[in-house]
Amino acid sequence: MRQRQDSYAKGLFITLIIAILAALLAKLPYLDIVGQLVIAILIGIVWGHTCKVKPQYRIGIEFSSKKLLRVGIILLGLRLNMADIYHAGWRTFLFAGILLSIALTFVYALSRLCKVDKTLSLLTACGTAICGAAAIVAIAPLLKAKESITAVSVAVIAVLGTLFTLIYTFLFPFLPLSPYEYGMFAGGTLHEIAHAVAASSAGGTESEDIAIVVKLTRVALLVPVALLIGITAQRLDQKEEEKKSFAFKKLPIPWFIFGFLFMSAVNTAGIIPVNIVENFVTFSYLLLGMAMAGLGLNVELTVFKKLGFHVFYAAFLGSIVLAGTGYCLIYVMGL
């Protein structure tokens, strides 16, 4: 029993070390665009292929990749202030909703057209449309996705998000957009929160503020999308004779998402002081970093060669469509 607990703790400790290292590296120039979650999964992949991880440590690593993931997502809700979304107006919400729907549909359809696995297609579509790695790891359990599939999806979105962030930053001086419009554009079309913040900073404070609001609106839409996917996945898994006895309690609903909403409500109500909220959000990213490290440690690089290229092309084209649609909507909706 003592030996089991020791192995469990060592597995957790490995993911903690990787998460801390990722957080430190994410503070460096250029790497701050990539973000600590993506860096954590990359370090995990390298660690898993260069250092032998004992099989008995896997129990602690699995705890990080599954249980700590949920706690991290719940605490991340403190970053979302529903009042900011409300004050931004219904047009902002509609803008985010339209872009999410188009990206989700287009990337999934194109991935399937390229004969990409259904689960990988849907995870990559969600990562493109909603909020990158956070959306992928939140929805993966609903689809019973293998960790290798989840890792490929996260890696694809990481590369694309970083690439488009650099392109946006370079193009900003040449785009006929005001700082406010550019912030809307970045927040509505980039993959991760880190990407939206990094790209929008080129337009100044006004640009960055509205980019965060639009991006967090997309994050909030993770809840209904996750619920819809959970219900659909459960129905598809049932056999025909079981459909008559469909039970709500059997749905693979991500209940931790409601924890995410609750923490968002707490933040909106202003119950917790701002400095404490910031500490909780930092801690949530540490937990998510440990979860990403766990994913990376379980990845086989051969999976990337087998699954990664076609889905990358689909997500790349989907990201271009997302950017083009967002640019056009800014003028059509008069945002």
Q: What pLDDT, on a 0 to 100 scale, did the predictor assign at position 24? A: 92
The residue written with tokens 């994050």 in the block is 219
Q: How far apart, in whole angstroms, are the C-alpha atoms of residue 264 and residue 76? A: 8
Q: What is the pLDDT of residues 132-162, one digit of tens each?
A: 877 888 888 888 888 778 888 888 887 788 7
Return d(Cα 303, Cα 305) in angstroms, integer. 5
Q: Kindly list the domain boundaries of the chain, sorted by start residue.
A: 2-237+246-332
Q: Residue 152: which of 328, 300, 323 has the closest Cα? A: 300
Secondary structure of the chain: what % helix, strand, coil (to 5)? 85, 0, 15
Average pLDDT over residues 112-120: 88
Q: Are 218 and 131 in contact (CB under 8 A)?
A: yes
Residue 313 neighbours by CB under 8 Å, 6+ apart: 114
- DSSP state, residue 117: -
- pLDDT tens profile 167-196: 888 888 888 999 989 999 999 999 877 678
Question: In angstroms, rounded to a whole number, what is the distance separating the alpha carbons of residues 252 and 206?
Answer: 40
Position 252 scores a pLDDT of 45
| pTM value surpassing 0.75 | no
The answer on pLDDT for 257 being more than 70 is no
Instruction: Compute the C-alpha angle 168/80/333, nearest 5°.
Output: 50
Q: What is the number of H-type helices and E-type strands within the chain?
A: 17, 0
Write the pLDDT tens digit of every residue in 308-319: 678 888 899 999
pLDDT in tens, 102-114: 999 999 999 999 8
Alpha-carbon separation of residue 154 from 39, 81, 90, 151 (angstroms): 11, 26, 31, 5
CB 147 within 8 A of CB 298: yes
